[in-house]
Amino acid sequence: MVDESTGTGRLCVLREALSSSRLRRVLVAYFVFNLAEWANWIALLVWAFDRDGVRGASAIALVQLVPAALLAPVAAQALTRLSPGRALWLGYVSQALTQLGLGAALLVGAPYAVVAGAAVLYSVAMTLTRPAHHTVVPELSETTSQLTASNAATGMTESAANIAGPLVSGLVVALWAPGGLVVVMGLATVGTALGVSWGLQRASGDVGAEDDGDTPPPAPAPARAGIRDVLADSSARVLIVMVAAEYVLVGMMDILLVVLALDVLDLSDAGPGVLNSALGIGGLVGAAFTFTLIGRQRLGPALLLGALAAGIAFAAAGLVSLLVPVLVLLAVSGSGKLFFDVTCRTFVQRLLPDRLLTAVFGLAEALMMGGLAVGSLAAPLLVHAVGARTTFLVAGSFLPVVALTLAVRLRRMDAACVVPTDVVDLLRSVPALSLLPERIVERMALEARTVAGAPGEALVTEGESGRHFFVIAAGTLQVSRGDDHLRTLRPGDWFGELALLRDVPRTATVTSIGPSRLWMVDREAFLASVGATSATLQAVWEHGNSRYR
């Protein structure tokens, strides 16, 4: 077994994760998405600036941000009805179509209302991708370490796009036109949609490929949780608040970098771009650091570190009036921000069940845009009221203060991610469950609760509706139907799967003969786990066929 706390071990994990062609396709698509996000933002700003000056540029920025922020939770709620792969595909298709529409409107010189309408449609379509991407990545990961490696790779693609985006955009706008840039990105997105859909078809072809009469019907899909379930989860709330705080800082950064470049450092018009590139290059360094998260148990301290570096270095950059130290501090801030982003996502994916992810990331997307809007509205007001330096201090201390306030909660959340190895071992000893990827068994173990059976107590009763699946840790139980004794179950045996898989009432009564101890997993977690691979579903099905009469 590789030691994942060493550089070589981490590289091995990364290589394993990237050996999946589905993951590679999804990462390429995500790179194009990030590039397109930059390109279209710049194309619209240039177009609006040429038309109506600075006012036009800020108006079109708001036209994109506000409806998208308001509609993102609605879109996320709708996405929870689809499988993550399909949601991702739908995201790319709708982006490709809306980008091509927007590009055409710009190229033919359509009236303002038409361009603005197309921009709104496009920015709402953009809100679908990030939540779907961050939900698909865990599905493609066999182990928790692979998941972390895939997140680090996602961070790398984001930071590479942050650097390439402005360059590519500048080049295409200079050679052609803003509308041309949007069309180019629309066509690239058509390519990514095709790539992702091809990967998706191959994956769905895996389930029940040959019907030889002994093939199980597909398990009922576990209900995917909605926004309300997310808000009811205190850990999800903590992480979402952190993301919102981060984006208030990002919103303020955009404005404050212009102030820093032009008013404080007295740079030319290219100054804000130079300062932004320092953030971008720092992001690449931060992304490289995220590989150290592979194999790491506790993420709370890493999250705090990212928040402190992003905020404090930014505040310090506002206090120094020399270009080189400012560039270094901004690079540190950019690296902290990216490190924070990847750690936060990984935390969410480790802590919460997969079925909650679309809704969590959807809500985070809305709050990101809300945070951006608040930050970019607050920054000019604060600069006016208290001056640039104090505004830098306020902006830079906001995220660290929020993170430090939540530090105790983060420590508790770290403890909740520690996988109970005895339960994992017990679940792995069940032949059908041993076929599941390690990450899914660990997820099941995290969600399992222990129950004690008293002598003579029925743990499930024939005819009742079923809510749980059970694995026996200690004791002996008896399965009966009516007055017939069917079987005696011992440690390592399991029961309660039929009602969940077939959506029928309990087919038998299971009674504890003496005192017993069991682990139980609720319906949603069981269906999500067993349905994760066709081999597991098949094994559970065959178990019933061979043992039950």
Task: Name the site residues for ligand CMP (rule: CB under 6 A).
Answer: 460, 466, 479, 486-487, 495-499, 506-508, 510, 547-549
Q: Tell the residue number behind the tokens 């790398």, with chain if given.
A: 156
C-alpha 515 chain-centroid distance: 43
Q: Are 4 and 295 in contact (CB under 8 A)?
A: yes
Cα 327-333-335 angle, rounded to 5 deg: 105
In whole angstroms, the minimum distance from the beta carbon of 469 to ligand CMP comes to 8
C-alpha 434 chain-centroid distance: 27
Nearest to 193 by CA among 294, 289, 93: 93
Indicate the residue among 376 and 511 with the shorter CB distance to ligand CMP.
511
Q: Tell the residue number behind the tokens 């996320």, with chain if given.
A: 76
φ/ψ region of 216 (left if φ > 0, alpha if ψ in -120 to 50, else beta) reads beta
Beta strands across the sheet bearing 494-495: 449-453, 516-522, 468-474, 494-495
458-460 and 449-453 beta bridge pairing = unpaired
In whole angstroms, the minimum distance from the beta carbon of 460 to ligand CMP comes to 5
Residue 362: C-alpha distances to residues 73, 92, 132, 134, 226 (Å):
6, 15, 8, 10, 10
In whole angstroms, the minimum distance from the beta carbon of 524 to ligand CMP comes to 15
Indicate the residue among 92 and 494 with the shorter CB distance to ligand CMP.
494
In whole angstroms, the minimum distance from the beta carbon of 224 to ligand CMP comes to 22
Indicate the residue among 314 and 470 with the shorter CB distance to ligand CMP.
470
In whole angstroms, the minimum distance from the beta carbon of 336 to ligand CMP comes to 50
Indicate the residue among 51 and 547 with the shorter CB distance to ligand CMP.
547
In whole angstroms, the minimum distance from the beta carbon of 494 to ligand CMP comes to 7
In whole angstroms, the minimum distance from the beta carbon of 481 to ligand CMP comes to 7
Q: Are 200 and 483 in contact (CB under 8 A)?
A: no
305 burial level (CB within 10 Å; 0-12, 13-18, 19+): middle
Q: Which two tokens stand for residue 98?
A: 């809306």
Indicate the residue among 219 and 395 with the shorter CB distance to ligand CMP.
219
Indicate the residue among 389 and 467 with the shorter CB distance to ligand CMP.
467
Indicate the residue among 228 and 549 with the shorter CB distance to ligand CMP.
549
Indicate the residue among 283 and 531 with the shorter CB distance to ligand CMP.
531
In whole angstroms, the minimum distance from the beta carbon of 498 to ligand CMP comes to 3
Indicate the residue among 6 and 461 with the shorter CB distance to ligand CMP.
461
What are the residues whose beta carbons fall under 8 Å from the beta carbon of 483, sequence distance 6 or more? none
What element of type H or E holds 518?
Answer: strand 516-522
Indicate the residue among 188 and 444 with the shorter CB distance to ligand CMP.
444
What are the residues whose beta carbons fall under 8 Å from the beta carbon of 371, sequence distance 6 or more? 243, 244, 245, 246, 247, 248, 250, 251
In whole angstroms, the minimum distance from the beta carbon of 212 to ligand CMP comes to 23
The residue whose Cβ lies closest to ligand CMP is 499
Q: Which two tokens stand for residue 100?
A: 């091509």
Neighbours of 183 (CB within 10 A): 21
In whole angstroms, the minimum distance from the beta carbon of 465 to ligand CMP comes to 9
